[in-house]
A and B are shown apart, each in its own frame.
Chain A
Amino acid sequence: MARYILQRLGYMLITMFLIATFSFFLMKLLPGSPLKAEEKLSEAQLEILYEKYDLNDPVPIQYINYLGNLVQGDLGVSFQLNNQPVTDILANRIPVSAHLGIQAMILGTIIGMILGLVAAIKNNSWIDYTANVVSVIGISIPSFIFAGLLQYYVGVQLGILPIAFWDSFKHTIMPTISLAIFPLAIAARFLRTEMIEVLGSDYIVTARAKGVSNSGIMFKHGLRNALIPLVTVMGPMAVSLMTGTLVIEQIFSIPGIGEQFVTSVTTDDFPIIMGTTLFYAFFFILIILIIDILYGIIDPRIRLAGGKD
């Protein structure tokens, strides 16, 4: 297992290098320049700034310099935000996005799983149909609709929760709910389908023939076998939720990374684009690794090399 993880970490480094390379050159293909927005600058001033940020060097040289700094953990400074180091900006904004994402993910997954389980057990009952409608709504209606509705009814009409900003736990409730609905719907949907299939399989009949109780059938025999597809879809979703969701962060004025990322793309703030992209990539690969390890824990048949076969 340890060897396998080391090997995967090695692949991770290669992947990160490739992603850094691709995104660097892609970014350089973007039209415009980070300094054009400041129209009041004279040619001479621009020239000084270009020189200061090494933007006059040929692109391959810039690339090599960037990689050199990257290896030392230096992501450069922002062109726009008063020359703040990119690492500082990420360090300020990522925890906010991650906090919101994790909260939404946990809430959505737990409620969704409960809903899916109940729907599977009470297959074709009104509970099942209700769960079905909830999932369809959750999957098809975008989160910002819920955000708007919550803001209006809960925030404005009832006035019990703050409409925006990111201060106390209270401030996190509405964005969390808005974000949680999609994973909730997906979890309910996948678990229901998979659970119904698992409950129809031969080994469940074997378990019943042994005299195992209904709850034993559900949790000891059923749930574990139904979890694999759920883990497969929930992993990448966790990444996208935890790395910042532009719309929700915008609606609730949350100082997260999603909002920052989009701003940096529109202003050609190269160091921030690079820094954020690399962070996303790193996080994504990490989650995939965790999912692969989880697979092995859940299902011995996909236990990875180094198991005690």
Chain B
Amino acid sequence: MENILEVKDLHISFDTFGGEVKAVRGVSFDLKKGETLAIVGESGSGKSVTTRALARLIPSPPGRIKEGEILFDGKDLAKLKENDMQKIRGKDISTIFQDPMTSLNPTMKIGNQIMEGLIKHQKMSKSQAKKRAVELLELVGLPNPTERIDQYPHQFSGGQRQRVVIAIALACNPKILIADEPTTALDVTIQAQILELMKDIQKKTDSSIIFITHDLGVVANVADRVAVMYAGKIVEIGTVDEIFYNPKHPYTWGLLGSMPTLDNTGDDLIAIPGSPPDMLKPPKGDAFAPRNEYALEIDKEMEPPMFKVSDTHYAATWLLHEYAPDVQPPAPVLRRMKGFSNTGADSNSKEGEQR
């Protein structure tokens, strides 16, 4: 399938009083047409920064794209002028944000908030845009769209607001939809609805989705491929099956081990010890080594390159080197990997447990 977006060796830094915070340190991936790529990782791993950079939504200063390319539609978005970028934002690349309670303008009717993009990008008249806005609200499953279009955000519940946010993002049929933890701020039953809605819409519009989350239950439910990020880098990337059934990176093991499952195996949840490194001074060698019980001597000296596991599966860990000792994931993770065979079906209820 054709690549719609290619990110090559992206570096993003923030200039702070304390110095340069290297939030993203060489991220490369591509996104195919119609697929859903999940980016997972704990807070501060750089997943939000990476995706915000794709739409150039990082405030600058203090943030800046230090190097790397974001190739979309024959253009390098990393170097595009702000004015040209405004023509792409909302039209080709849309974003759904995390907290629907704060991501809508409280003093603007939701209809106008949806119509804004249509009028700007599709050159629609006000009445055309209003008609389209009603259609969009229908598409995202909001009852009585003709009345509700003239209401303000505070007259909507959290789940309804997220539907409105999704309608805004979908307004111009974007080629890429970036969903930055779109269900994290919602309660569990609403989460499931929103996920269903997004899957549904993707089927109808054939857009590509980048789905950021730290919730592996959600990943199993929505993603085709998964990228695991740690300390500003992608440490493992593969199809959803490869990541869940054959994870190679110890950090991925840790994430899987810390995810509760319904088929209770009697294992305790495994917590990954320690906390992520300070990105003001990224450590030498593998950034995950200090928290990794399987770390090798070389991890302290040299960063591991991406090792190829299969055509679609890569992981950055020295454990994949031919000279490395044969290390198996910890037993609870292994048992869990077996249990994932029925994850896809009931992952929504798992999310519930996780909260």
Contact of B57 among A209, A213, A216 (CB under 8 A): A209
- A202 contact set on B, CB distance < 8 A: 97, 99, 102-103
B75 interface hit (Cβ, 8 Å): no
B105 touches A221 (CB 8 A): yes
Contact residue range for chain A? 20 to 34
A21 interface hit (Cβ, 8 Å): no
Given A202-B102, A300-B152, A301-B154, verify A209-B94 contact (CB < 8 Å): yes
- B104 contact set on A, CB distance < 8 A: 203, 206
Residue ID in chain A nearest B98 by CB atoms: A202
Contact of B106 among A207, A216, A220, A300 (CB under 8 A): A300
B43 interface hit (Cβ, 8 Å): no
Q: Interface readout for A198-235 with B: 1 if CB under 8 Å, 0 if not?
A: 00011101111111111010001100110000000000
- A221 contact set on B, CB distance < 8 A: 105, 108
A213 touches B107 (CB 8 A): no
B105 touches A225 (CB 8 A): yes
A309 interface hit (Cβ, 8 Å): yes
Minimum C-beta distance from A30 to chain B (A): 49
CA distance A207 to B90 in the complex (A): 9
CA distance A299 to B154 in the complex (A): 11
A211 touches B87 (CB 8 A): yes
Q: Interface readout for B82-118 with A: 1 if CB under 8 Å, 0 if not?
A: 1000111111001101010011111110000000110
Q: Which parts of A255-309 form the interface with B (CB within 8 Å)? A: 298-301, 309
Residue ID in chain B nearest A223 by CB atoms: B107
B154 touches A300 (CB 8 A): yes
A205 touches B57 (CB 8 A): yes
Minimum C-beta distance from A240 to chain B (A): 28
CA distance A212 to B102 in the complex (A): 18
- A224 contact set on B, CB distance < 8 A: 107-108
Chain A interface secondary structure, helix, strand, loop or mixed? helix
The listed residue with most A CB atoms (<10 A of its CB), out of B89, B107, B120, B155, is: B107
Residue ID in chain A nearest B105 by CB atoms: A203
- B102 contact set on A, CB distance < 8 A: 201-203
B120 touches A212 (CB 8 A): yes
The listed residue with most B CB atoms (<10 A of its CB), out of A209, A221, A300, A309, is: A209
- B57 contact set on A, CB distance < 8 A: 205, 208-209
Q: Interface readout for B300-329 with A: 1 if CB under 8 Å, 0 if not?
A: 000000000000000000000000000000
B194 interface hit (Cβ, 8 Å): no
B120 touches A211 (CB 8 A): yes
Contact residue range for chain B? 20 to 34
Minimum C-beta distance from B171 to chain A (A): 8
CA distance A306 to B116 in the complex (A): 29
CA distance A71 to B176 in the complex (A): 71
CA distance A298 to B106 in the complex (A): 10
A299 touches B107 (CB 8 A): yes
- A213 contact set on B, CB distance < 8 A: 86, 120
CA distance A200 to B221 in the complex (A): 33
B64 interface hit (Cβ, 8 Å): no
CA distance A225 to B105 in the complex (A): 8
- B120 contact set on A, CB distance < 8 A: 210-213
Minimum C-beta distance from A158 to chain B (A): 44
- A205 contact set on B, CB distance < 8 A: 57, 97, 103
Minimum C-beta distance from A223 to chain B (A): 10
B219 interface hit (Cβ, 8 Å): no
- A299 contact set on B, CB distance < 8 A: 106-107
CA distance A204 to B48 in the complex (A): 17
B168 interface hit (Cβ, 8 Å): yes
A301 touches B152 (CB 8 A): yes
CA distance A212 to B82 in the complex (A): 11
Q: Interface readout for A167-206 with B: 1 if CB under 8 Å, 0 if not?
A: 0000000000000000000000000000000000111011
- A300 contact set on B, CB distance < 8 A: 106-107, 152, 154
A225 touches B116 (CB 8 A): no
CA distance A309 to B156 in the complex (A): 11
CA distance A203 to B110 in the complex (A): 12
CA distance A5 to B288 in the complex (A): 65
CA distance A307 to B103 in the complex (A): 24
Minimum C-beta distance from B204 to chain A (A): 21
A209 touches B89 (CB 8 A): yes
CA distance A133 to B87 in the complex (A): 38
B106 touches A206 (CB 8 A): no
CA distance A248 to B169 in the complex (A): 56
Residue ID in chain B nearest A301 by CB atoms: B154
Given A210-B116, A212-B116, verify A225-B97 contact (CB < 8 Å): no
CA distance A207 to B102 in the complex (A): 12
- A211 contact set on B, CB distance < 8 A: 86-91, 117, 120-121
B116 touches A309 (CB 8 A): no
B165 interface hit (Cβ, 8 Å): yes
Minimum C-beta distance from B50 to chain A (A): 15
The listed residue with most B CB atoms (<10 A of its CB), out of A214, A220, A300, is: A300
CA distance A17 to B333 in the complex (A): 78
CA distance A220 to B90 in the complex (A): 17
Given A201-B102, A206-B165, A209-B95, list of 8 further CB < 8 A pairs? A205-B57, A207-B105, A209-B57, A210-B168, A211-B87, A212-B116, A214-B82, A301-B154
* 26 A-B pairs (CB sep. < 8 Å): A201-B102, A203-B103, A203-B105, A205-B57, A206-B103, A208-B57, A209-B95, A210-B94, A210-B116, A210-B171, A211-B120, A212-B90, A213-B120, A214-B82, A216-B116, A220-B116, A221-B108, A224-B107, A225-B106, A225-B107, A298-B107, A300-B106, A300-B152, A301-B106, A301-B152, A309-B155
Which A residues are within 8 Å of any B CB, using their own CB? 201-203, 205-214, 216, 220-221, 224-225, 298-301, 309
**4 smallest beta-carbon distances between A and B, as pairs:** A211-B90, A210-B90, A211-B89, A202-B102
